[in-house]
């Protein structure tokens, strides 16, 4: 609410002061003298005239007081603005004027009618009670308004939620806080309600965040979904550039994986539009990357066993992948097919441990997608001694020698591995003696790598022949 200009506020009472001053002067001049032995009629005329003079006098002084208070108010709050750099709240200005008016009024009553506040008090006690009861709500609002101005829990332009109303604070007066809702409605919340209720405040220039929910199908990799959605929303309009949005899995729902995007806004008052834009960006990210929004449906999976084991890929593709692993190159297509059917596919998130040093192990793995780090404990700190990519194998040392796992193997990115068990290998050893030979070479090479790390025990040291016969013995091939 804008205040009327000073000129207008001062001019009107000034004109009134002049008029009442003139009236006072004229009435005093016209006051008839009371002759000795005046009649009742003359006395009454004189008394009426005296009252008229007093009324004109009070009106004159009241108008002067009005001019003075308004001018003083302007001056005081002009200085306030200069010193503090912002306008004083309307409530403070109104209270300031009220106190001055009451003081001036008391002085005028004393001067003109010789009435003091103390004399008025007994008579006004009852009136006070009546007024107090009638103005209970108004006074409550006033006092709550004073404490609001002192506490300053929110400012003009902040978004607040009080009860069921959410909107932008457009004014704070001595009676109520005016909120403009997002449907452009004006809601007036009495200051007493504000003082009683809990208020949620989103400061205008604060780093306010919002959370938008979405879901993706179980077949879509969380690592990819999180990455693509984060990239898609971070540059959306009104999203704070310097805080990267957070995308995370919030639950495993009935129809799909449930996610949330937490993002920060430049202008919080536009959060409805920005939420909508974020959802739109998610839709496009899904479309570009071939992700699926899950529907609340029951899906009956009718897949071949081999496809299940191979993470959706058929046995032929997996056999092709295994044929590229150097130690399996001597195997026939039939043997590779049988190996693919007997293997199981597993998927690991970045940083997940696939093999733990010291554990027993009766299977080996082939990386079918992604990559792994081979880590050992070097003087108490983890150290990566090798990185294995697609087509590489690991876990063969424990499988073929029966000794504990020699290192930790950790997924360096989202990784799929094919697990091949003891039984599947035993059959191949009988028909492919070269396979045992190739394996013992690989194991010896890796042991050398392990031994290069002083604090690592690579298991018993064996000669090539010693290792060969150990593998044969372990698999009952002798």
Where do contacts with ligand CMP occur on this chain (CB under 6 A)? 355, 361, 374, 385-386, 394-398, 405-407, 409, 446, 449-450
Spatial separation of the C-alpha atoms in residues 371 and 391, rounded to whole Å:
9
Cα 204 → chain centroid: 14
Q: Which is nearer to ligand CMP, 66 or 397 (CB)?
A: 397
Spatial separation of the C-alpha atoms in residues 21 and 59, rounded to whole Å:
8
Spatial separation of the C-alpha atoms in residues 135 and 142, rounded to whole Å:
10
What DSSP state is assigned to residue 87? P
The set of residues, in sequence order, having a beta carbon less than 8 Å from that of 208 and lying 6+ positions away, is: 159, 202, 264, 265, 268, 271
Least gap, CB of 414 to ligand CMP (angstroms): 20
Q: Which is nearer to ligand CMP, 316 or 419 (CB)?
A: 419
Cα 55 → chain centroid: 64
Q: Which residue's CB comes closest to ligand CMP?
A: 449
Least gap, CB of 435 to ligand CMP (angstroms): 16
Least gap, CB of 436 to ligand CMP (angstroms): 16
Give the relative orientation of helices 422-431 and 433-451 as an angle to the nearest 10 degrees: 120
Least gap, CB of 355 to ligand CMP (angstroms): 5
Tokens encoding 242? 């310097």
Q: Which is nearer to ligand CMP, 450 or 471 (CB)?
A: 450
Least gap, CB of 356 to ligand CMP (angstroms): 9
Q: Which is nearer to ligand CMP, 313 or 405 (CB)?
A: 405
Q: Give the start-end residues of each E strand in 163-256.
A: 165-172, 176-181, 186-190, 199-202, 209-216, 246-252
Least gap, CB of 461 to ligand CMP (angstroms): 14
Q: Which is nearer to ligand CMP, 335 or 373 (CB)?
A: 373
Q: Which is nearer to ligand CMP, 11 or 451 (CB)?
A: 451
Q: Which is nearer to ligand CMP, 256 or 370 (CB)?
A: 370
With CA atoms as reference, report the closest residue to 162 among 203, 191, 136. 191
Spatial separation of the C-alpha atoms in residues 322 and 342, rounded to whole Å:
12
Tokens encoding 122? 């007994």
CA dist 241 → 232, 234, 244, 263, 335 (Å): 13, 7, 7, 10, 56
With CA atoms as reference, report the closest residue to 472 among 430, 438, 421. 430
Q: Which is nearer to ligand CMP, 333 or 389 (CB)?
A: 389
Q: Which of 303-319 are b and which e, b meaning 16 or more Cβ less than 10 Å from the residue's Cβ?
A: eeebbebbbebebeebb
Phi, psi angle pair for 454, to nearest 5°: -45, -45
Spatial separation of the C-alpha atoms in residues 443 and 418, rounded to whole Å:
19
Q: Which is nearer to ligand CMP, 70 or 405 (CB)?
A: 405
Least gap, CB of 400 to ligand CMP (angstroms): 8
Q: Which of 347-368 are b and which e, b meaning 16 or more Cβ less than 10 Å from the residue's Cβ?
A: bbeeeeebbebeeebebbbbbb
DSSP secondary structure letters along 399-433: HHH-PPP-SEEEESSSEEEEEEEHHHHHHHHHH-H
Least gap, CB of 317 to ligand CMP (angstroms): 24
Q: Which is nearer to ligand CMP, 60 or 394 (CB)?
A: 394
Least gap, CB of 326 to ligand CMP (angstroms): 13
CA dist 38 → 49, 51, 418 (Å): 15, 19, 129
Least gap, CB of 207 to ligand CMP (angstroms): 45
Least gap, CB of 416 to ligand CMP (angstroms): 17
Instruction: Report whether 340 contacts 314 (CB < 8 A).
Output: no
Q: Which is nearer to ligand CMP, 53 or 367 (CB)?
A: 367
Least gap, CB of 412 to ligand CMP (angstroms): 13
Q: Which is nearer to ligand CMP, 406 or 440 (CB)?
A: 406
Q: Which is nearer to ligand CMP, 273 or 362 (CB)?
A: 362
With CA atoms as reference, report the closest residue to 443 among 399, 388, 382. 399
Least gap, CB of 336 to ligand CMP (angstroms): 20
């Amino acid at each position: 609410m804008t205040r009327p200009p000073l000129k207008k506020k001062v001019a009107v009472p000034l004109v009134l002061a002049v008029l009442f001053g003139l009236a006072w002067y004229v009435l005093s001049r016209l006051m008839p003298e009371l002759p000795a032995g005046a009649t009742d009629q003359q006395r009454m005329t004189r008394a009426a005239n005296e009252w008229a003079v007093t009324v004109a006098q009070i009106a004159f002084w009241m108008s002067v007081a009005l001019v003075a208070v308004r001018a003083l108010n302007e001056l005081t709050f002009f200085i306030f603005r200069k010193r503090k750099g912002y306008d004083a709240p309307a409530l403070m200005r109104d209270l300031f004027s009220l106190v001055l008016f009451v003081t001036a009024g008391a002085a005028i009553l004393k001067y003109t009618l010789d009435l003091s506040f103390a004399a008025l008090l007994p008579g006004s006690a009852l009136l006070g009670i009546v007024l107090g009861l009638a103005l209970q709500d108004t006074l409550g609002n006033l006092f709550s308004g004073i404490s609001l101005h002192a506490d300053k829990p929110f400012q003009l332009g902040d978004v607040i939620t009080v009860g069921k109303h959410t909107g932008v604070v457009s004014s704070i007066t001595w009676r109520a806080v005016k909120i403009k809702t997002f449907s452009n409605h004006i809601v007036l919340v009495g200051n007493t309600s504000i003082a009683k209720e809990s208020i949620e405040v989103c400061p205008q220039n604060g780093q306010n965040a919002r959370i938008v929910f979405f879901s993706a199908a179980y077949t879509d990799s969380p690592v990819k979904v999180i990455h693509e959605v984060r990239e898609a929303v971070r540059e959306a309009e009104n999203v704070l550039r310097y805080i990267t949005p957070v995308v995370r899995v919030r639950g495993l729902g009935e129809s799909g994986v449930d996610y949330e995007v937490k993002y920060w806004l430049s202008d919080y008052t536009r959060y409805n539009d920005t939420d909508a834009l974020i959802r739109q960006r998610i839709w496009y990210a899904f479309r570009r990357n071939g992700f699926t929004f899950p529907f609340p449906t029951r899906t009956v999976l009718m897949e071949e066993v081999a496809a299940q084991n191979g993470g959706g890929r058929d046995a032929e593709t997996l056999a092709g992948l295994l044929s590229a692993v150097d130690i399996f190159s001597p195997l026939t297509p039939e043997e590779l097919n049988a190996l693919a059917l007997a293997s199981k596919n597993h998927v690991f998130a970045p940083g997940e441990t696939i093999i733990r040093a010291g554990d027993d192990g009766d299977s080996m793995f082939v990386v079918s997608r992604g990559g792994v780090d081979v880590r050992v404990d070097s003087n108490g700190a983890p150290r990566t001694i090798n990185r294995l990519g697609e087509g590489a194998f690991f876990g063969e040392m424990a499988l073929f020698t029966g000794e504990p796992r020699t290192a930790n193997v950790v997924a360096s990115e989202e990784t799929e591995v094919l697990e091949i068990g003891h039984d599947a290998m035993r059959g191949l050893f009988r028909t492919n003696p070269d396979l045992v030979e190739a394996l013992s070479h690989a194991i010896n090479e890796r042991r050398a790598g392990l031994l290069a790390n002083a604090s690592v025990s690579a298991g018993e040291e064996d000669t090539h022949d010693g290792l060969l016969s150990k593998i044969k013995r372990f698999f009952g091939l002798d």
